[in-house]
Amino acid sequence: MTTNFASLEPAFTARLYPSEGALSTGGSLSVVPFTSGSVVSEPGFSVPLDAEVIYGSDNVRMEPSQGHTRIHVNAILKNKDGSLLTYSYTGIIEVDEDVVALLTGSPNAKTTNYGKAVSHVTFQTGSETLKKLEHSLFIGTARFVVENGGYSVETKISRVIG
Would residue 11 count as lying in a domain?
Answer: yes
pTM: 0.92
The SS3 of residue 114 is coil
Would residue 12 count as lying in a domain?
Answer: yes
| pLDDT single digits (tens) 10-46 | 999 999 999 876 555 556 788 899 989 999 999 999 9
Would residue 30 count as lying in a domain?
Answer: yes
Please, how many CA atoms are within 13 Å of residue 97, restricted to the half-sphere of its CB?
Answer: 2
Name residue 24's amino acid.
Answer: S
The alpha carbon of residue 99 and the mean position of all alpha carbons in its chain are separated, in whole angstroms, by 15
Answer whether 45's CB lies under 8 Å from 133's CB. Answer: no
CATH of the domain at 144: 2.40.160.20
pLDDT in the model for residue 135: 96
Range of the domain at 142: 7-161
Would residue 137 count as lying in a domain?
Answer: yes
Would residue 45 count as lying in a domain?
Answer: yes
Average pLDDT over residues 124-143: 97
Would residue 49 count as lying in a domain?
Answer: yes
Provide the domain count of the chain. 1
Burial 132-143 (b: 16+ CB within 10 A, else e): ebeebebbbbbb
| pLDDT single digits (tens) 61-76 | 988 888 999 999 999 9
pLDDT in the model for residue 7: 96
